[in-house]
Chain A
Amino acid sequence: MNDFQVVVDAVHKGDIKTAVAETQKALDKGADVQEFLDKALIATMDDVGENFSKGITFVPQMLRSAKTMQECMKLLASSFQEGAVKSKGKVLIGTVKGDLHDIGKNLVAMMLEGAGFIITDLGVDVHPDKFVHKAQEIEPDIIAMSALLSTTMPSMPLTIEALEKAGIRDKVKVIIGGAPVTGKYAKEIKADSYGSDAGASVNLAKSLLGLS
């Protein structure tokens, strides 16, 4: 039995109130923050993600679990700042210049966050220079770009070129997605990888960073 079973169950159910109260209790009792994060939150979200890919859990349920986790994470924020706990990695995400469709991008951001990544979301219609500037500022491990329209896809290679020019292309992994995007296209524009859907993005991000 997990020491944090009540939190685990609450995250599974998406019971925000109970999860937050129990997280506070655990912290008050002096629980190890890293252990709490790993066992109560991230392991649970891994489980939820697993159930989602098996078709047992539906998207709104998974997103509610992710939201529950985020609310708990807020209580852990000070520990992150002190460096007491580590994230899986930092992801900079946005839809490319010209594209205003963000449902898929938002899903990817939430799923990555649920898996323990720190997300910086630049929103929609993100100019290549904006990706570059933010990347220089926060030094992400991964830059994730999406496009729904074939006519906005060319903004993807333009962003990659901008990263090259700024001399930071080799410091980040670039992943792309969106309805018209294919694995072949990812290769052509020299992105590191492509995800066919939001669910695939977590495993993709983990494998690119050499995480299990």
Chain B
Amino acid sequence: MRLTEIPTFQPRLKVFNRDQVLAVHGAALEILEKTGFKMEHPGALQMLADAGCTVVNDDWVKMPGYLAEQALQTAPKAFALYDQQGNKTMPLVNGNSFYGPGSDTTFTIDLETGQRRRTVLQDTANFAKLVDGLENMSFAMSMSNPEDVPIENIYVYAFAEIVKNTNKPIVFIADSGKDIAKIYEIACFVAGGEEEFQQKPFILNYSEAISPLRFPENVLDRLIFCAQKRIPLCFPSGSNAGGGAPVTLAGAMALGIAENLVGLVVHQLTNKGAPFLFGPNVSILDMKSTVVSYGCPEWSLTQAALADMRDELYGLPIWAFAGASDAKIMDAQAGAESMFSIITSMLSRCNLIHDSGYLEYGGISSLEMLTMNNELVAMSRSFTNGIPINSETLALEAIERVASVPGSMFLTDDHTFENFMQAQFLPKLLDRTRYDGWAESGSTDLYKRCNMETKRILAEHQVDPKLDDVLMAIDKVCKGR
């Protein structure tokens, strides 16, 4: 029997129907039109007023819904991040999912002592190098707030350190219009010039408004700078349910989306067609500890809902999180929470997914956890790829051979030899050895194995080095010339 080609269904999670999408979008527009927002950037305020917004009490703005709709029209529906060697490694389109670490943690788990300690610049370097060596981590982020660099240039130093230790794309933080200009200067050196950078951008800026509805001047400086230079940008405010936003997820999403739309409008008014990664961060404020949870199911749920809003309405690629935990060490809780967000973010087709390797609700970064998540992403991909149906995978001939030839078995059949690598997920760190073998090789748990694998990668992995004149230029920018 010959089969006609059957497309493979890839498992997909859906949270919102169209009515829900339209209701949340409508609520977001109503917030902008009727409640309004506080715009503390004089230039942006003027831009909004000129475009048709009403300004009351100096800096309180009410925005007609059509401005948001126009901005959604002019922003690109797809764009790509390139690696630092000019390869298009992150096409943010068609529900592609890319994972990577997060930004400023105060603490890290020391690879040698296992103790929680303050982060330093060497940690930034280690995380970047580890990302470079992990096949399922697509971009780098600082993962630390180094204590040993001048605070006024902390983000420039962190960025320079990442550039020196990986060639993957970089999601970066800046403080103001000043340091972001320095970071851009470094990025242009790496790309070989401003024009080259614009052709193949390898950086994306993370900036955020303050929920509820407050837009500080330094944040908008960055947004406008990125729009002018066409540096891709995400603008997720912390509209966390119960903290910066209402405790109910629908209202928190509406508020976060409203805040995102304000950013998008200013962004597109500045430079139509500049790339903007859509989406707020809608987690919850924990009602016992008052921390913003990174292990809760709600954040996964709201970003899955946002992915449905993208597909039904917005069309812009979205920002998301996964692979993080509220646990203080890399324990079973860390594994459970990490996997929960990794698999659901993939099943809902989130696009740029950050914060992998966070412990303590973003207070601690863990190299071992990033290594673990590299494998959990692979495991999730293997699931999300679905089950291809064709004559090779149905394997009726193999079944016939094994059934009809006495003494034969599938394990020795050619079909198994030819297909097993694609047909199965082959874990490297998740342990399936028999008990005695496991005991003989040291009775290790996953944390220990991730620790060893991380040390191996940091010792053995070679990052293609930057040219000397690029390195010198970077140091000049850091030191302020």
A binds B: yes
Whether a CB of chain A sits under 8 angstroms from the CB of B113 is: no
Question: Once the chains are docked, how many angstroms separate the CA of A151 from the CA of B154?
Answer: 8
Stretch of A7-15, A18-26, A100-108, A164-172 that contacts chain B? A100-108
B288 contacts A55, C-beta separation under 8 Å = yes
A180 at the interface (CB under 8 A from B): yes
Q: Are A100 and B210 in contact (CB under 8 A)?
A: yes
Interface residue B26 (Cβ < 8 Å from any Cβ of A): no
Q: B175 to chain A: which residues have CB within 8 Å?
A: 151
Closest beta carbon of chain B to A66's beta carbon, Å: 14
Contact call A179/B210, Cβ cutoff below 8 A = no
Complex CA distance for A179 and B292, rounded to whole angstroms:
11
Most chain B CB within 10 A, of A104, A107, A153, A180, is at: A180
Taking the complex as formed, is B386 at the interface, i.e. its CB lies under 8 A from any CB of chain A? no
Look across to chain B and name the residue whose beta carbon is closest to the beta carbon of A180.
B106
- Quick check: is B243 within 8 A (CB to CB) of the other chain? yes
Instruction: With a 10 A CB-CB cut-off, give which of A59, A153, A154 has the most chain B CB atoms.
Output: A59
Neighbour of B151 across the interface among A52, A60, A153, A184, CB < 8 A: A153
Q: Which of A55, A104, A184 contacts B290 (CB 8 A)?
A: A104
Cβ contacts under 8 Å, B210 to chain A = 100-101
Interface residues on B, range: 20 to 34
CB distance from A37 to the nearest CB of B (A): 27
A58 contacts B287, CB within 8 Å? yes
Asked if B287 contacts A154 (CB within 8 A), the reply is no
* Distance in angstroms between the alpha carbons of A184 and B145 in the assembled complex: 15
Task: List the A side residues contacting B290 at CB < 8 Å.
Answer: 59, 104, 107, 197-198
Is B118 interfacial (CB 8 A cutoff)? yes
Chain B residues near A179 (CB-CB < 8 A): 106, 363
- Bound Cα distance A103, B106 (Å): 19
Q: Chain A 40-53, CB within 8 Å of chain B: the 1/0 string?
A: 00000000000010
| Residues A100 and B214 in contact, CB atoms below 8 Å apart | yes
| 28 A/B residue pairs, CB under 8 Å, sorted by A | A52-B288, A58-B288, A59-B285, A59-B287, A59-B288, A59-B290, A60-B242, A60-B247, A100-B210, A100-B214, A100-B216, A101-B210, A103-B243, A103-B285, A107-B290, A150-B145, A150-B151, A150-B154, A151-B154, A153-B151, A179-B106, A179-B363, A180-B106, A180-B145, A182-B106, A184-B118, A197-B289, A197-B290
- Among B287, B288, B290: residue with most chain A CB under 10 A: B288
Is B244 in the interface zone, CB < 8 Å from A? yes
Interface residues of A in 95-137 (CB under 8 A from B): 100-101, 103-104, 107
B104 on the interface (CB 8 Å rule)?
yes
Chain B 266-302 interface mask (CB, 8 Å, partner A; 1/0):
0000000000000000000101111000000000000
In the bound assembly, the distance between CA atoms of A125 and B189 in angstroms comes to 36
Binary A-proximity of B242-262 (CB < 8 A = 1, otherwise 0):
111001000000000000000
- In the complex formed, the residue of A with least CB distance to B287 is A58
A63 to chain B, nearest CB (A): 10
Provide the residues of chain A in CB contact with B247, threshold 8 Å. Answer: 60
Instruction: Specify the chain B residue showing the minimal Cβ separation from A107.
Output: B290
Which A residues lie at the B interface, using CB under 8 A? 52, 55, 58-60, 100-101, 103-104, 107, 150-151, 153-154, 179-180, 182, 184, 197-198
Task: Determine how close the nearest CB of chain B comes to the CB of A103; give it in whole angstroms.
Answer: 6
CA distance A59 to B289 in the complex (A): 8
Is the contact region of chain B dominated by helix, strand, or loop, or is it mixed? loop
Q: Could you mark each residue 217-244 of chain B with 1 if its beta carbon is under 8 Å from any beta carbon of chain A, else 0?
A: 0000000000000000000000000111
For the complex formed, measure the closest distance between the CB of A79 and the CB atoms of chain B, giving whole angstroms.
33
**A203 CB to nearest B CB, Å:** 16
**Least CB distance, A156 to chain B, in whole angstroms:** 12
Question: How far apart are the CA atoms of A53 and B363 in the complex, in Å?
Answer: 21
A158 to chain B, nearest CB (A): 12
Q: Shortest CB–CB separation between residue B248 and chain A, in angstroms?
A: 13
- Determine the chain A residues whose CB is within 8 A of the CB of B106 once the complex forms: 150, 179-180, 182
Question: Which residue on chain B has the smallest CB distance to residue A103?
Answer: B243
Q: In the complex the two chains form, what is the Cα distance from A182 to B118 in whole Å? A: 9
Measured in the bound complex, the distance between the Cα atoms of B284 and A60 in whole Å is 14
Please determine whether B287 and A60 come into contact, CB atoms closer than 8 angstroms.
yes
In Å, the complex CA distance between A154 and B152 comes to 9
A184: chain B residues within 8 A (beta carbon)? 118
Q: When A182-B118, A184-B118 are in contact, do A150 and B288 touch as well, CB less than 8 Å? A: no
A107-B290, A151-B154, A180-B104 are known; give 20 further A-B pairs, CB within 8 A.
Answer: A58-B287, A58-B288, A59-B285, A59-B287, A59-B290, A60-B247, A60-B287, A100-B216, A101-B210, A103-B243, A103-B285, A150-B106, A150-B154, A151-B152, A151-B175, A153-B151, A179-B106, A179-B363, A197-B290, A198-B290
User: Chain B's nearest CB lies how many Å from the CB of A109?
Assistant: 13
- The CA of A103 and the CA of B288, in the complex, are separated in Å by 15
Q: Say how far B324's CB is from chain A's closest CB, in angstroms.
A: 15
Listed from nearest, the 7 A-B pairs whose CB atoms lie closest are A58-B287, A151-B175, A150-B145, A59-B287, A180-B106, A55-B288, A100-B210
**A100: min CB distance to chain B, Å:** 6
- B244 cross-chain contacts in A, Cβ below 8 A: 103
Chain B, residue nearest A153 (CB):
B151
Please report which residues of chain B, range 133-182, place their CB below 8 angstroms from some CB of chain A when the two chains form the complex.
Answer: 145, 151-152, 154, 175
The digit string for B187-226, where 1 denotes a CB below 8 A from any CB of A, is 0000000000000000000000010001010000000000
C-alpha spacing A52/B287, complex, angstroms: 10
Q: Within the assembled complex, what's the spacing in Å between the Cα atoms of A198 and B145?
A: 23
Cα separation A150 to B151 with both chains bound (whole Å): 8
Chain B 442-455, CB-CB to A under 8 Å as 1, else 0, gives: 00000000000000
Q: How far is the CB of B304 from chain A (nearest CB, A)?
A: 26
What residues of B have a CB within 8 angstroms of the CB of A60 in the complex? 242, 247, 287
Q: Chain A's nearest CB lies how many Å from the CB of B15? A: 26
Identify the interface centre among B214, B285, B287: most chain A CB within 10 Å of its CB.
B287
Centre residue among A52, A100, A101, A151 by max chain B CB count within 10 A: A151
A residues within 8 A CB of B154?
A: 150-151
Once the chains are docked, how many angstroms separate the CA of A176 from the CA of B382?
Answer: 48
Chain A: minimal CB distance from B92 (Å): 28
A184 to B154, CA, bound (A): 19
**Which residues of A sit under 8 angstroms from B152, Cβ to Cβ?**
151
Mask: chain B, 12-26; 1 = CB below 8 Å from A; 0 = not = 000000000000000
